[in-house]
Structure 1
Amino acid sequence: MNRTICVVTGSRSEYGLLLPLMKRILEDNDLCLQIIATGMHLSNEFGLTYREIENDGFFINEKIETLLAADTPTGIIKSMGLGLIGFADAFNRLKPDILVVLGDRYEIMVAVQAAMIYSIPIAHIHGGEITEGAIDDSIRHAISKMSHLHFVSTSAYRDRVIQLGEQPERVFNVGAIGVDNIIELELLDRQKFEESIQFTLGEQNFLITYHPVTLSDSNSDMLITELLAALDCFPEARIVFTKPNSDADGRIISQKIDEYVQRNTERAISFTSLGQLRYLSALQHMDVIIGNSSSGIIEVPLFNKPTVNIGSRQTGRIKGPSVIDCGESRKDIAEAIVQAISGSFREGNTKANLSLYGNGNTSARIKDVLKCVNVKGIVRKKFHDIHPNRGEE
């Protein structure tokens, strides 16, 4: 009897990372792939990206609506409640052998909560990481504690998951799954990329990926205004924006980006979703990537490109020398961009460092574990105490 692996995806970026794993599960005759699409995938505002999943040849078993019109904390909490009800019904129908989730978003946490009550074994990808500037940090660790198999991207993150009390034999250091796409996808050359986005790049090009800083003392309106003001210091640069996720205040940032593009139609363009192929293709044609996304830390360095990492959202994540951390003021951001595009920095600090997040083949390694692991009794977790005798001293 085939083992059923259910993958939950709620956002475009997460799906792009999961894509190679989903393909490998689908191609394995001993495994049966189930897919649940939720969150931003089902929202017209965020591009109805569930269509990308279907266009890639996958069948979506369940679509679970979660997003409400508001992106306030109240609206997000209500979305989580709506999602929990939907996942309860979905798992009752699908009854998967293993649930696979990635990352740290709130719709993923409610999926895991429902699966935990159903005693479905949960496999979590990208646990053990630290992002002190966002509530994602707490969500990620909570998901780890509800999960039974852990696929982490570095040895330091493996140690941290074990420190949370997880059994070492169930924590696998497989590298970052995003590396697989960089190695395996045939990326678009400059001409094809420009045709795909209907926008002509210039001599200097910036890619902006900026998300709400959910634990910041400053408001999103002010923070995005500072970033956009910094970009005005580089009037010759062509700018490609990818819009934020559905976190609190995400719509404020999107609105400010739209207004900026309207004022700068000749040199700026924005996208709700570039999709994995166009996004990774964009990285190879940009001079600098600016924002506060994890991709600037994990994937971008593999293209020998610098990242300007703004503010505290990614504080605590392991970074290579091509990542420039800066403050949130327009002055700090502009100075960091100047440093990033300087010839001396690019020559000295943008050498690819695959050793930080692995050398690829991550999805194949995850698939092999999912296929072969003994799940009998796995949901009965035992806390692994790294100092078992300390209380007796």
Structure 2
Amino acid sequence: MSKRVFFLTGIRSEYDILAPVIDAVDRTDGLETSVIVTGAHLIEKFGHSVQQIEADGRDIVTRIRSLPETDSLSSRVHGAATQIAGMADLFAEKRPDFLVVMGDREESITGALSAVYHNIPVVHIGGGDHAEDGNVDNPIRHAVSKLSHLHMVTTELSGQRLERIGEENWRINVVGASGIDRLLSTQHMSREQLEQEINVGWEGKPYVVVLYHPTISDFEEARIHMRTICDILETSGLNVVIMAPNSDPGNFAIVSEIEALVERCDRVRSFKFLPRKTFVNLLRHAHAMVGNSSAGIIEAPSLGLPAINIGVRQRGREHAENVIFTSYEAPEISEALRKAIFDQGFRERVALKRSPYGDGTAGERIAKVIRETVPGPELMHKKFVM
């Protein structure tokens, strides 16, 4: 009899990282998959990215509409409560053998909490990672690890952190980052094909990709920070593609500044959502990433892509030499942009594609662990190792 594995996802970037794992589990004898969809996936404002999950032919076991139409601090808490209620109803009716959660967003902790109260084993991808940015993501990530029964970590250092917080070694599996699986498996497009796909006529001239998300620790300054970034991009002379921010508090202000930049600068294009093939090839042909997305830390090194990380988000996170960290100050950001685009020595070092995040086989490794793990008392009984 097959083991049933549920995957939980609430936002486009999270699903793209999970997709190679779902594919690998689907290909594994004795395992079958379903997806719980919630959060920003179901909201038009954030691109209604459930359409990608549907296009991939996933079995969507339930859709939990949880995201309030506000970007206040309380919105994520109300959304989390709705997710817990929805999963309680789901697990009472349809019980998986494993629940897989990803990273550090609210759906990871609501899923883990709901599952452990139903005695369902939790598989956590991305535990043990840490940034010194003061963001709520860090304690959420570590709390999910304590609720989880199997850990799929991206690096040896992340695994060591889990041991330090009392996790048993046999539960910890160093598998690499599945986002790299996505990069390696996505079909290549030529630069000309890409420009046709996103409807631009840049004729091969340099462009940058911007992914800037709000951070709870300074979300009230999100508009000021994004305005600074937009002013630098406008005067840079570069072509720009901006992806919409995530659904965290402060996103309304960021979107407003993006819309204003698009209105006044014809070198800028913005998107709420792009199909995976288009987005991956957008990164492949870019000259740099700008913002504070984890994609600059985890995926960009494997593409040889310079990444400028602005502000506190991702600070102190394990990274390759492709990342340039800056403050929110305009001169520092401008200098980093110059280095990323025009410093040939830096670009040549980045082009070596050295990364601490694995070789693109995370999905297969995770599927193998799940297949070989027997749900039962030994797995569910967690001990704290001193």
**1:214 pairs with 2:233:** no
1 CA distance for matches of 2:175 and 2:243?
Answer: 28
Q: What percent of counterpart residues are identical? A: 33
Q: Structure 2 matches for 1:283-294, cutoff 5 A?
A: 283-294=283-294
How far residue 300 of structure 1 moved from its aligned partner, in angstroms, is 0.9
1 CA distance for matches of 2:355 and 2:79?
Answer: 39
1:390 matched residue in structure 2: none
Give TM-score scaled by structure 1 length: 0.94
How far residue 375 of structure 1 moved from its aligned partner, in angstroms, is 2.0
2 CA distance for matches of 1:95 and 1:302?
Answer: 37
Any conservation in 2 of the 1:127–1:151 contact (CA below 8 Å)?
Answer: yes
1 CA distance for matches of 2:355 and 2:67?
Answer: 38
Residue identity matched to 2:196: E
Which stretch of structure 1 is more off in the superposition, 271-280 or 135-144? 271-280
How far residue 209 of structure 1 moved from its aligned partner, in angstroms, is 0.4
Q: Secondary structure at the match of 1:290?
A: strand
How far residue 131 of structure 1 moved from its aligned partner, in angstroms, is 2.4
Measured against aligned partners, the alpha-carbon deviations of 1:172-198 in whole angstroms (never above 9, x if no partner) come to 001111111121111221122112111
Q: Secondary structure at the match of 2:109?
A: helix
Residue identity matched to 1:213: T
How far residue 348 of structure 1 moved from its aligned partner, in angstroms, is 4.0
1:302 matched residue in structure 2: 302
1:365 matched residue in structure 2: 365
Measured against aligned partners, the alpha-carbon deviations of 1:294-336 in whole angstroms (never above 9, x if no partner) come to 1001111111121111111001211111111111122211111
Q: Secondary structure at the match of 2:208?
A: strand
1 CA distance for matches of 2:178 and 2:352?
Answer: 16
2 CA distance for matches of 1:274 and 1:330?
Answer: 29
Alignment CA distance shift 1:223-1:347 (3 Å): closer
Residue identity matched to 1:324: I
Q: Secondary structure at the match of 1:331?
A: helix
Residue identity matched to 1:255: S
Residue identity matched to 2:75: G
**4+ residue segments displaced more than 6 Å:** none
1:344 matched residue in structure 2: 344
1:15 matched residue in structure 2: 15
1:184 matched residue in structure 2: 185
How far residue 282 of structure 1 moved from its aligned partner, in angstroms, is 0.7
Residue identity matched to 1:89: D
**1:47 pairs with 2:47:** yes
Q: Secondary structure at the match of 2:44?
A: coil
How far residue 218 of structure 1 moved from its aligned partner, in angstroms, is 5.9
Give unmatched runs, 5+ long, in structure 2: none
Q: Secondary structure at the match of 1:259?
A: helix
2:143 matched residue in structure 1: 142
Alignment CA distance shift 1:322-1:10 (3 Å): same
2 CA distance for matches of 1:284 and 1:51?
Answer: 23
Q: Secondary structure at the match of 2:216?
A: coil
1:320 matched residue in structure 2: 320
2 CA distance for matches of 1:357 and 1:128?
Answer: 13
1 CA distance for matches of 2:132 and 2:27?
Answer: 38
Measured against aligned partners, the alpha-carbon deviations of 1:130-177 in whole angstroms (never above 9, x if no partner) come to 123221111111111110100011100000011111111110001111
1 CA distance for matches of 2:57 and 2:285?
Answer: 28
How far residue 75 of structure 1 moved from its aligned partner, in angstroms, is 1.8
Which stretch of structure 1 is more off in the superposition, 364-373 or 348-357? 348-357
Q: Secondary structure at the match of 1:99?
A: strand
2 CA distance for matches of 1:183 and 1:83?
Answer: 33
Q: Secondary structure at the match of 1:384?
A: coil
**1:272 pairs with 2:272:** yes
Residue identity matched to 1:321: E
Measured against aligned partners, the alpha-carbon deviations of 1:103-133 in whole angstroms (never above 9, x if no partner) come to 1111221111111111110000011111232
2:176 matched residue in structure 1: 175
Alignment CA distance shift 1:84-1:347 (3 Å): closer
2 CA distance for matches of 1:80 and 1:65?
Answer: 11
2:205 matched residue in structure 1: 203
2:155 matched residue in structure 1: 154
Give TM-score scaled by structure 2 length: 0.96
**1:75 pairs with 2:75:** yes
Any conservation in 2 of the 1:211–1:291 contact (CA below 8 Å)?
Answer: yes
Residue identity matched to 1:233: T
Any conservation in 1 of the 2:219–2:249 contact (CA below 8 Å)?
Answer: no
Give unmatched runs, 5+ long, in structure 1: 386-393
Any conservation in 1 of the 2:320–2:355 contact (CA below 8 Å)?
Answer: no
Q: Secondary structure at the match of 2:40?
A: helix
2 CA distance for matches of 1:198 and 1:323?
Answer: 29
Alignment CA distance shift 1:362-1:217 (3 Å): closer
How far residue 200 of structure 1 moved from its aligned partner, in angstroms, is 2.6
How far residue 354 of structure 1 moved from its aligned partner, in angstroms, is 4.4
2:230 matched residue in structure 1: 228
1:111 matched residue in structure 2: 111
1:35 matched residue in structure 2: 35
Q: CA RMSD in A?
A: 1.4
How far residue 283 of structure 1 moved from its aligned partner, in angstroms, is 1.0
Q: Structure 2 matches for 1:112-127, cutoff 5 A?
A: 112-127=112-127
Any conservation in 2 of the 1:70–1:76 contact (CA below 8 Å)?
Answer: no
Any conservation in 2 of the 1:230–1:331 contact (CA below 8 Å)?
Answer: no
Any conservation in 2 of the 1:13–1:276 contact (CA below 8 Å)?
Answer: no
1 CA distance for matches of 2:74 and 2:220?
Answer: 19
How many residues are aligned here?
A: 383
Which stretch of structure 1 is more off in the superposition, 41-50 or 270-279? 270-279
Q: Secondary structure at the match of 2:63?
A: strand
Q: Secondary structure at the match of 1:216?
A: helix
1:62 matched residue in structure 2: 62
Measured against aligned partners, the alpha-carbon deviations of 1:356-379 in whole angstroms (never above 9, x if no partner) come to 111121100100100111221112
Residue identity matched to 1:173: V
